Amino acid sequence: MSLRLVFMGTPDFAVPVLRAFLEAGDTIAAVYSQPPRPAGRGHKLTPSPVQAFAEGRGLMVRHPVSLKNAEAQAEFAALNADAAIVVAYGLILPKAVLEAPRLGCFNLHASLLPRWRGAAPMQRALLAGDAETGVCAMKMDEGLDTGPVLDCERVAITPRMTISELHDELSAKGAALIVRAVHAYAEGRIAPRPQPAEGVTYAAKLGRDEGRIDWTRSAAEIDRMVRALNPGPGTHFELNGERIKLLAAEPVDARGAPGTLLDDAGLVACGDGALRLLKLQRAGKAALDIDAFLRGFPLPKGTRLS
């Protein structure tokens, strides 16, 4: 069964999903995405990854500032869609929009609901040290990721997994999942099931200062921060008033006063254990592996980081 769909998404994570529906033979009546934003050194207005992909396929793209006004809602309803597919879009869908498509609106969420409802589920799963996470295809309601679930796919979080690796795996698995689930729902082969009342957690939006490293925390916690928060918003520490980004590290079994360099090769004591610095970046400089970084910016044993 070919469906007439509206696709609503913005970042890289959503692109494989749009591609998958096109490859499944569905008609995309319109694509909704966040407006172009300034990017790069020249602050040139740059379309979102979803908009760029959609325009490359000749699809109509809309980027309203809000969907709460009657005009935007009428334009959406006039598309006469069977369903809307929503993946990290960035705008709240009011009731009139949720109810406009014949089958409703469906969301791909990057967690095993009801755990990690909200804005940053992948990062929060890594920060919490979860052993697994996943993606869920959900029929949307007016709540924050509270709608009934069609199907889920589980993914193990391996010990050294980074947010980039998790992002790519969940995006690929999620694309196949939601295409399969929405078509099965349209054909009456599956029914949404309510989310459990137990196990609800919220994945709050990441703050700009959340990546400031507190060396009194355990090496395992700081390691999870580095793997979860890079490339954005990033993790950093300060030395002599200069902010230095920490892009890669690994825990080591060693002890010392938190924040103190235990050798001349970038081993820092933490509240529990120690962290080997592997990749660093000074402001305005290129990111460097630790050996190259230390040749131009030594961190002698005994140095205290803050």
What is the C-alpha separation between 66 and 78, in angstroms, rounded? 17
The CATH class of 219-296 is alpha beta
- Residue 197: predicted pLDDT: 94
pLDDT interval class at 6 (50, 70, 90): very high
CB contact set of 108 (below 8 Å; sequence gap of 6+)? 17, 85, 86, 87, 135, 136, 137, 138, 174, 175, 177, 178
Q: Which residues of 263-293 are buried (b: 16+ CB within 10 A; e: fewer)?
A: eeebbbbbeebbbbbbbbbbeeeeebebeeb
Helices and strands, number each (H, E), in the chain: 8, 16
What is the C-alpha separation between 88 and 111, in angstroms, rounded? 13
pLDDT interval class at 75 (50, 70, 90): very high
pLDDT interval class at 44 (50, 70, 90): confident
Q: Which two tokens stand for residue 175?
A: 């694309």
Q: Tell me: pLDDT of 41 over 80.
A: no
Domain spans of the chain? Answer: 4-202, 219-296
- Residue 134: predicted pLDDT: 98
Percent of the chain with pLDDT strictly greater than 70: 100
Poorest-confidence range of 34-48, 63-77, 190-204? 34-48
198-220 confidence digits (pLDDT tens):
999 999 999 988 999 999 999 99
What value does the mean pLDDT take over residues 89-105?
A: 97
Nearest to 16 by CA among 68, 48, 53: 53
What value does the mean pLDDT take over residues 116-125?
A: 97
In Å, how far are 125, 158, 159, 185, 232 from 163, measured between CA atoms? 10, 11, 12, 31, 10
Q: Tell me: pLDDT of 261 over 90.
A: yes
213-239 confidence digits (pLDDT tens):
999 999 999 999 999 999 999 999 999
What value does the mean pLDDT take over residues 57-80?
A: 97
- Residue 65: predicted pLDDT: 92
Q: Where does 4-202 sit in CATH, by number?
A: 3.40.50.170
169-196 confidence digits (pLDDT tens):
999 999 999 999 999 999 999 999 999 9
- Residue 39: predicted pLDDT: 79
